[in-house]
């Protein structure tokens, strides 16, 4: 059973940089692209970063995704109040033939 692990919570002050980690295995993060999604309260998740640190239009370069081996991370610089949200990493798992989401990290801006 593949499990992708994220810290349940993270926090930072205005203007600070916060990093959210995402730990997987060889069959998911280790073999495939990691994508990040942002979910604001009461809304559907939306794509935040994809492929090799690409961002959809509308998201500034304050959001940066990276990957090394079987782990990935999302860095958010210049924290703003609107960044308060839940963040999820996701990757295809070759052994399960399924998309695996991390458990999510709730970001609080202090």
Partner 1 sequence: EVQLMESGGGFVQPGRSLRLSCAASGFTFDDFAMHWVRQSPGKGPEWVARITWNSGTLSYADSVRGRFTISRDNARNSLYLQMNSLRPEDTAFYYCVRAYSGSYFDFWGRGTLVTVSS
Contact status: 45 vs partner 1 (CB under 8 A): yes
Among 58, 68, 82, 97, interactor with partner 1 by CB under 8 A: 97
Contact status: 78 vs partner 1 (CB under 8 A): no
Residue 35 makes CB contacts below 8 A (sequence gap 6+) with 47, 48, 49, 50, 51, 65, 89, 90, 91
Cα–Cα dist 60/2, whole Å: 32
CB 85 within 8 A of CB 97: no
Q: Which stretch binds partner 1 (CB under 8 A): 9-17, 20-28, 70-78, 89-97?
A: 89-97
**Where along the sequence are the contacts to partner 1 (CB under 8 A)?**
33, 35, 37, 44-47, 50-51, 56, 86, 88, 90, 92, 96-104
């Amino acid at each position: 059973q593949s499990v992708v692990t994220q810290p349940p919570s993270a926090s930072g002050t205005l203007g600070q940089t916060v990093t959210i980690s995402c730990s997987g295995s060889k069959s998911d993060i280790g073999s495939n692209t990691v994508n990040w999604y942002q979910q604001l309260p009461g809304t559907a998740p939306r794509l935040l970063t994809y492929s090799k640190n690409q961002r959809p239009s509308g998201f500034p370069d304050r959001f940066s995704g990276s990957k090394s081996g079987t782990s990935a991370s999302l860095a958010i610089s210049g924290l703003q109040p609107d960044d308060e949200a839940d963040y999820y990493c996701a990757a295809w798992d070759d052994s399960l033939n399924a998309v695996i989401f991390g458990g999510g990290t709730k970001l609080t801006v202090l």
